[in-house]
């Protein structure tokens, strides 16, 4: 009986202090959808909203970058602390960084990183990682108002044609990478989780893919069995240089190395990469790099 009373008191204290996670069903997701002007992809209790820069015509080494390859901004909402926590990665032009940042800061959101992912892209794109917690509709309003300072499309246009087929041997790519990929807007995308649990601010980050803490690998066909590849490896410090060596020895360029978050456990680094070559050859190089990490393999 005494243990039960103590447990109830502890739960009450946690509820009062806002430490108990909110439940997804307690959030008015329709209002969040309406505020952001789009529907999310839902995985577990995470609602992820895409903000692709479909307005931009970006090329890199002669390759026209599809939004799904490297221009897919996003914001993910996870019920937490009596409301929601958000994490996101927004794609911006250089001239858009400070107006968007100022609006974010004024509304109480946090900026956790600003950096490049690619090299030699024209026009150059930058990536702003953001975080926050509180009332979900207020958070959505803050994101919408900040993005209005950029030319990020805030309305979703109906597709004018079906997405292009992925002209690659995706079955062989699946076998080499070790997980099942998914076609997305003419790009074949892999999400490879780590084996170790990841948390931010004491909150477990799960599912890892929608929250941006799984290794992402994207293949965009460029003809004749070739593909442009980019994405980011999620690494602990001791894995960084082993992965750099594995990528470079397989003809894959390392284009950025940095953090995305401020208070994650374990401490993580994100390594971005680029190549345009035979897709199967590149997949084997990526698998060699994944083998240097604590990543899952089916």
Rounded to 5°, angle at Cα 251 from 125 and 223: 70
Per DSSP, the residues of the chain read: -HHHHHHHHHHHHHHHHT-SPPPGGGS-HHHHHHHHTSPPEEETTEEEEEEE-TT---EETTEE--HHHH-EEEEEEEEETTEEEEEEEEEEEGGGHHHHHHHHHHTT-EEEEEE-S-SS-BS-EEEEEEEEEE-HHHHHHHHHHHHTTTT---S-PPPSSPPPP--S-HHHHHHHHSS--EEETTEEEEEE-BSS--EETTEE--STTTTT-SEEEEEEEEETTEEEEEEEEEE-GGGHHHHHHHHHHTT-EEEEEE-S-SSEES--EEEEEEEEEEHHHHHHHHHHHHTTTTB---
pTM: 0.90
Per-residue pLDDT of the chain (298 residues; tens, 9 = 90+): 444 433 444 433 444 344 444 565 689 999 999 999 999 999 999 999 999 999 999 999 999 999 999 999 999 999 997 899 999 999 999 999 999 999 999 999 999 999 999 999 999 999 999 999 999 999 999 999 999 999 999 999 877 778 888 999 999 999 999 999 999 999 999 999 999 999 998 889 999 999 999 999 999 999 999 999 999 999 999 999 999 999 999 999 999 999 999 999 999 999 999 999 999 999 999 999 999 999 977 6
User: pLDDT value at position 10?
Assistant: 40
At residue 273, φ and ψ (nearest 5 deg) are: -150, 165
State how far the Cα of 240 lies from the Cα of 293, in Å rounded to an integer.
9
Nearest to 216 by CA among 236, 246, 187, 241: 187
User: pLDDT value at position 192?
Assistant: 97
In the chain, domain spans = 21-147, 170-290
Length of the chain: 298
């Amino acid at each position: 009986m005494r243990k039960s009373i103590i447990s109830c008191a502890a739960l009450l204290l946690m509820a009062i202090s806002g430490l108990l996670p909110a439940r997804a069903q307690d959030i008015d997701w329709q209002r969040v959808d309406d505020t952001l002007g789009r529907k999310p992809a839902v995985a577990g209790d995470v609602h992820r909203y895409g903000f692709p820069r479909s307005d931009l015509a970006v090329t890199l080494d002669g390759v026209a970058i599809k939004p799904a390859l490297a221009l897919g901004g996003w914001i993910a909402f996870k019920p937490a602390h009596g409301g929601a926590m958000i994490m996101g990665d927004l794609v911006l032009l250089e001239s858009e960084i400070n107006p968007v940042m100022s609006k974010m800061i004024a509304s109480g959101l946090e900026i956790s990183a600003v950096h490049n992912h690619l090299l030699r892209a024209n026009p150059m794109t930058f990536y702003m990682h953001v975080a926050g917690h509180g009332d979900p509709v207020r958070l959505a309003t803050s994101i919408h108002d900040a993005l209005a300072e950029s030319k990020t499309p805030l309305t979703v246009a109906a597709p004018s044609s079906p997405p292009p087929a992925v002209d690659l041997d995706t079955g062989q790519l699946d076998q080499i990478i070790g997980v099942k990929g998914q076609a997305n807007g003419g790009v074949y995308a892999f999400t490879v989780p780590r084996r170790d649990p990841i948390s931010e601010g004491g909150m477990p980050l799960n599912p890892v893919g929608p929250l941006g803490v799984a290794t992402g690998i994207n293949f965009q066909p460029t003809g004749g069995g070739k593909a442009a590849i980019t994405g980011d490896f999620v690494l602990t410090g001791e894995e960084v240089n082993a992965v750099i060596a594995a990528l470079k020895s397989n003809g894959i360029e390392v284009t950025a190395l940095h953090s995305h978050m401020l208070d994650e456990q374990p401490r993580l680094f994100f390594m971005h990469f680029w190549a345009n070559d035979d897709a199967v050859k590149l997949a084997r190089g990526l698998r060699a790099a994944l083998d240097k990490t604590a990543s899952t393999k089916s």
